[in-house]
Amino acid sequence: MRHFHFCTMSTKVEVPSNDIRFQMELEFIQCLASPAYLNFLAINRYFENPSFMNYLQYLKYWKQPQYAKYIVYPHCLAFLDMLDDERFRQMIAREDFMTLVHGQQFYHWQTFLNNRSEGKPPEASTTETPAEASAESS
């Protein structure tokens, strides 16, 4: 863990190394998958802070495949896009709307695996290896 220090006048600012920064940004962006956390940000007026909104725009680089592959909770990317909408930012501050969004998210998680596996052929019930299969066909 290597940190760099910059001194500006009498204030010492610690800047994390790239690997620490990557981990911090990954952890933060995944917090955006939580409607309760979005509600917290809204009621504490984070979305009214232009610097914070610029930071959210900066975090959109996580949508690129070379970064997105590290994300465990992909809903965070959808919510990151939704936060561009001022109406969504206002609505997520409401408890009833946050609960609705959370319920819809839960419903998606509950049915996602089943929806993804529809139309796929059933897996083979045998446990033979490819080498065994080719030996039998010879």
- The answer to whether residue 127 sits within a structural domain is no
pTM above 0.75, yes or no: no
Residues spanned by the domain of 98: 31-115
Question: Looking at this protein, which amino acid is placed at residue 79?
Answer: F
Per the prediction, the chain carries an average pLDDT of 81
- The answer to whether residue 128 sits within a structural domain is no
Contacts of 36 (CB under 8 A, 6+ apart): 98, 102
Query: Higher-confidence residue: 105 or 35?
Result: 35
CATH number of the domain residue 42 falls in: 1.10.10
Q: Which uninterrupted H or E stretch holds 14?
A: strand 11-16
pLDDT on residue 12: 67
- The answer to whether residue 7 sits within a structural domain is no
- The answer to whether residue 69 sits within a structural domain is yes
Do 71 and 30 contact (CB within 8 A), yes or no? yes
Residue spans of alpha helices (H) in 44-94: 50-58, 65-68, 75-82, 86-91
- The answer to whether residue 130 sits within a structural domain is no
Give the Cα separation of 80 and 78 in Å (integer): 5
Dihedrals phi, psi of 3, to nearest 5 degrees: -115, 150
> In the chain, how many domains are there?
1
Rg of the chain taking only CA atoms, in angstroms: 22
- The answer to whether residue 70 sits within a structural domain is yes
Query: Higher-confidence residue: 6 or 43?
Result: 43
SS3 68: helix
How confident is the model over 101-128, as pLDDT tens digits?
988 887 667 666 666 555 555 554 445 5
Q: How many CB atoms lie within 10 A of CB 58?
A: 10
- The answer to whether residue 43 sits within a structural domain is yes
Do 13 and 5 contact (CB within 8 A), yes or no? yes
